[in-house]
Structure 1
Amino acid sequence: MATLCFPIAILLTLLHQAEPSAETSVFVQKGQDVRLNVQTNVQLKEDVDVLYWKFNRLDNVVKYPPKVTFERYRGRAEFSEEDFSLLLKNLQEGDSGLYDAVVTGNNDRNVAKYLINVQERVEPPVLTVDSVSSINGTCNVTVACRGQNTSVNSSCNSSTCSQVGGERRRAETTTVPLLSVYVAGGSIICNHSNQVSWANDTKEIKTICLEKERDKEDHNYAVTVGMPGPIIHVIIIFVGCALIGW
């Protein structure tokens, strides 16, 4: 049993100290802070090892020991001597890129890899009603959802929405926000989102359909009231004759 435990212990130690195999993607809203932690066990050999946090493998952010914050990042980065983590402050779009921590000494090894993507907060979308119709007693509403140079046209009823015509919805990527239209709680919801924020515009289906019915009634009333006097008289005489059997 002891013979088996010894190789297992060595394997667990190697796994614990293994370098990160891929970057960890992190999405940050513009202007916010983010803390990056080392991803393996780090033990610096005195007078031999030095740890660097780097940006895009070219620019040095901080080094330790001794603790030095390089000029570009002074006031914008904080290094922790206790756990070797890096705090980046007030991130801007130009700060997007690869951040990695490297221990240099007898052998160089990577102890953290982060791919940072800084995004702005999405703009509120605009939901507009294009048309309203009734099919077999069901109110159908065609709407347009617009936001940041893209749009979605959908046909909705009280339970669901389906995309119709117009521009196809684009898949969400690290740079392109996602527009979606759906029904929830009796309302049509136009949702605009990316990985760090979201905003929406809503319209109640019942209200849209009632307004359409009122507009139809007002139109019919206006047509009737707006008829010339002689035509109304003819209609009245025709109805009267029909009632007395002429």
Structure 2
Amino acid sequence: MPTWDPTTYLAYADERSRPFLDLLARVDGEPATIADLGCGPGHLMAALRARWPHASIVGVDASPEMIARARAEHAADGVTYVCADLTSWEPAAPVDLLVSNATLQWVPGHLDLLPRLAGTLTEAGTLAFSVPGNFDEPSHVLLRDLAGRAPYAAHTAAVVHPSSHDAATYLATLTATGLRVDAWETTYLHVLDGEDPVLRWILGTGARPVVQALPEDLREQFVTEYGVLLREAYPVRPHGTVLPFRRVFVVARRA
């Protein structure tokens, strides 16, 4: 399993946070209990606390590094953090709101996980999540292609790449469990500044398992080659480097 670097991940915290805020805008009600699945370094906890200041919130993440950062920098009354794998995590009691931002794509077969998560909701509970839908974009296609070439392929063959489904698939899956589902897609056009911004973006997320699977003597070479490919795919414009980023959103409520 790869380890995660909170500092690298937070390099584009504003851009990464926007889908979470757009997701919360579609969540109604006053949940008393909330679980943030894949809470990362806890940087979004303030948004949950601001929206529902009296709720009891648990942040769940499989990364010890992320949970340590969350506990150190985003502790608050009514907030706890748990290091756990979503495939086996269970709340102590049914939850009013399960929310997740850019996490489920890392869970292989997460479509099968959704009915179980829905089963942990209270009678009026809500499951709300967003996932990236950009895995056919150059950033990921180039990553998989390069990782599949020699000399890297011998080390990266077992790497699990993130994946997600379209909004219609999530709608069908969760409607079948009896939930009322609102599902949609949005493409953000992130305008990034600085040198190799798309490379820096993806090294904090999608490329991290690939790079960590490589031996030390190949990592720098891989990152250099990957950076060249990304610069060609995402050229610098007068206003910055544009990274189109499709996101898929779901808010599923018990009727």
Shorter-chain TM-score: which interval?
under 0.3
Higher relative contact order at CA 8 Å, sep ≥6: structure 1 or structure 2? 2
* TM-score (structure 1 length as normaliser): 0.22
Higher helix share: 2
Determine which structure has more spread, i.e. the larger CA radius of gyration: 1
